[in-house]
Amino acid sequence: MEKRQELYAGKAKSVFATDDPDRVVLQFRDDTSAFDGERMESLARKGMVNNRFNAFIMGKLEAAGIPTHFEQCLSDTESLVKTLTMIPVECVVRNIAAGGLVKRLGVEEGRELSPPTFELFLKNDALHDPMINESLAETFGWATPQQLAEMKALTFKVNAVLKQLFADGGLPLVDYKLEFGLFKGRIVLGDEFSPDGCRLWDAKTRDKMDKDRFRQGLGGVIEAYEEVGRRIGVDFT
């Protein structure tokens, strides 16, 4: 496998072509962004930590029968993945009220959500990722009803696997965002799963152990990510 030209640079990752059109290289950078890219900072070790963290999680999800784009780690900061045609819809599941839900609906942060909620957002920085629904996604052609149903089912399947995994490490999984794409006509989990795209609180202290540390200027961002990884068995060496 030969790494070729850069195809796309996102806020935290870059995508490179390879000599195989069905495979691309994801490079996890140290760049950290918040508020739709309004705040950007470089945090040492973040690329390595998120690459290893993501590889570990994707492995757990594959083992549970969830199709993912992940193929293999290539280096500390690079992974080989399947080339997906991304669906521009973000799927968010919440087990505990926090963040956008608290702001939007005025519910109390920390309230257990039973059953967990499912929300869709359009992936569009310029519009600040507005909330959408199945009807809008279908009408505007972002995803078909069948694709949306599958994405929802897979997003909840991920919840069953990861809620338990993090709970075993003393970390309630508060909420998370997933992105899916198409590979040879099949819905596959893409992007990454790391503390950049989920909320995890320490069960005892309720300390935030995720990207909210960056968003809220709490410090110790990467140290918290490493602590989460250590508790669930990620190997950072």
Token pair 């997003």 is found at: 155
Is residue 197 at the binding interface for ligand C5P, with CB under 6 A as the rule? yes
User: How far, rounded to the nearest angstrom, does the alpha carbon of residue 18 sit from its chain's CA centroid?
Assistant: 23
By three-state DSSP, how is residue 230 classified? helix
Give 90-143 as a DSSP string: EEEEEEE--HHHHHHH-PPTT-EEEEEEEEEEE--GGGT--EE-HHHHHHTTSS
Q: What is the DSSP letter of 51?
A: H
Which alpha helices (H) appear in the chain, and where do they start and end?
A: 46-63, 99-105, 134-139, 145-168, 212-215, 221-232
CB of 34 to ligand C5P, least distance (A): 9
CB of 44 to ligand C5P, least distance (A): 21
Is residue 60 at the binding interface for ligand C5P, with CB under 6 A as the rule? no
CB of 139 to ligand C5P, least distance (A): 22
The site map against ligand C5P for 67-96 (x = CB under 6 A) is -----------------------x-x----
State which residue, 75 or 133, has the beta carbon closest to ligand C5P. 133
State which residue, 66 or 120, has the beta carbon closest to ligand C5P. 120
Is residue 226 at the binding interface for ligand C5P, with CB under 6 A as the rule? no
Among 34, 67, 113, 129, which residue interacts with ligand C5P (rule: CB under 6 A)? 129
